[in-house]
Amino acid sequence: MKDWQQDLEKNIAGIIISETDIKKKVEELGRQITAHYASLNADQLIVIGILRGSVVFLSDLIRELKMPISIDFMAVSSYEDKTQSSGTLRIIKDVSEPIAQKHVLVIEDIIDTGITLRCLKDMLWARNPRSLSLCSLLDKPARRQTKIEVDFRGFEVPDEFLVGYGLDYAGRYRHLPYVAILNPETYANE
C-alpha cells in the first residue's frame, strides 16, 4: 500500500454513508426532482452546482433527471480551509446565464449552519427565477444557525466533520466514493 493510502485510512474515523446507499439515494432524488418539475410543466431546468463540493453529487444526479436541463456553476466560500464557516459569503464565480423566469435548482453537497445557502437563495430570488429549489445530499441540522428550506434532501448526518463524495478537508478526500467522518486528530491543531 502506498504511503498516501495509509495516511488516508488513518485519517478516516469511520464510513457513515456507503457508496451503495449514496447511489440509491441519488436515484430516488432524481425521481423526486423529475416528478416535481413535471408537475410544474417545466420545459427546461437550470441546475446550478455550488463548486467545488457539489460536483460529484451533481454529476451523478443529473444523469437521473428525465427532462431537459442546462448546467451552470457558482463558487462561493465561507470556510477558507477551516472546519467551521466564517459566516462571511464570498462569491468567487457567478452563474454565466441569466435565470430570470426560469426554473432553477441549486445543488449543494451539505447544509451546515445554513448561512451560506440562506444568503445565496436570497441573492438568486432577487434575479426573478420562475421557481427556485434547493437540493442537498447531506443535511446537518444540529449546526443550523438560520432557517433554510431544503426542497430535496438526501441524508441527515451527525455533527461531525465529514469528507468524501465531494466533501473535503483542505482540498483532500473529495474523491472518496463514500461519506466518512474525518479523524479529529487530523484537524485538531487548528
- In the residue annotation, 151 being an active-site residue is answered as no
Count of Cβ atoms closer than 10 Å to residue 104 Cβ = 22
Do the bridges between strand 152-156 and strand 131-139 make them parallel or antiparallel, or are there none, so unpaired?
A: parallel
Catalytic residue, from 60, 109, 112, 168: name it.
112
Nearest to 25 by CA among 180, 182, 178: 178
Report DSSP state, residue 123: H
Order of strands, sheet of 162-163, starting from the edge strand that comes earlier in the sequence: 12-17, 179-182, 162-163
**Cell for 8?**
488516508
Residue 50, phi-psi category: left (phi > 0), alpha (psi -120 to 50), beta (remainder):
beta
Q: Which residues are catalytic?
A: 112
